[in-house]
């Protein structure tokens, strides 16, 4: 990759990302963080008071999951969907339950909610 376009797959702890109220329930939101000269691409998924984070990379071909900004969930909000090849993932653990990477998982990204703010963990 060219300088300034390096991708990283981990983030430092304690970075404030958004308020819990900024996430629909259920809902998902894209997050891109610049870490030095590199970039982290992830997304948040909210169900109730729980927020989970995943690296925005499908295990099938390494592409970001959403072709449209923040469009990570199926219409009923029950699964995460890869818009490129139709893989479906469980919200709670990122396990692929259908599609070309069945049995594989999304890479978890540790996040936490503290006093109504979603932060990296």
Domain coverage including residue 60 = 6-112
Distance CA 8, CA 74 (A): 27
Q: What is the pLDDT of residues 66-97, one digit of tens each?
A: 999 999 999 999 999 999 999 999 999 999 99
Residue 88 sits in a domain whose CATH number is: 2.102.10.10
Count the domains in the chain: 1
Tell whether 31 is covered by a domain: yes
Tell whether 118 is covered by a domain: no
Tell whether 1 is covered by a domain: no
The pLDDT of residue 1 is above 50 = no
Tell whether 104 is covered by a domain: yes
Phi, psi of 97 (to 5 degrees): -110, 5
């Amino acid at each position: 990759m060219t300088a300034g376009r390096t991708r990283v797959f981990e983030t430092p702890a304690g970075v404030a990302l958004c308020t819990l109220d900024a996430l629909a329930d259920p809902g998902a939101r894209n997050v891109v963080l610049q870490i030095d000269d590199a970039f982290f691409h992830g997304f948040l998924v909210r169900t109730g008071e729980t927020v989970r984070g995943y690296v925005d990379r499908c295990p099938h071909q390494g592409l970001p999951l959403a072709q449209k900004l923040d469009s990570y969930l199926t219409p009923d909000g029950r699964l995460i969907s890869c818009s490129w090849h139709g893989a479906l993932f469980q919200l709670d653990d990122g396990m692929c339950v259908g599609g070309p990477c069945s049995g594989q998982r999304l890479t978890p990204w540790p996040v936490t909610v503290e006093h109504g703010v979603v932060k990296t963990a």
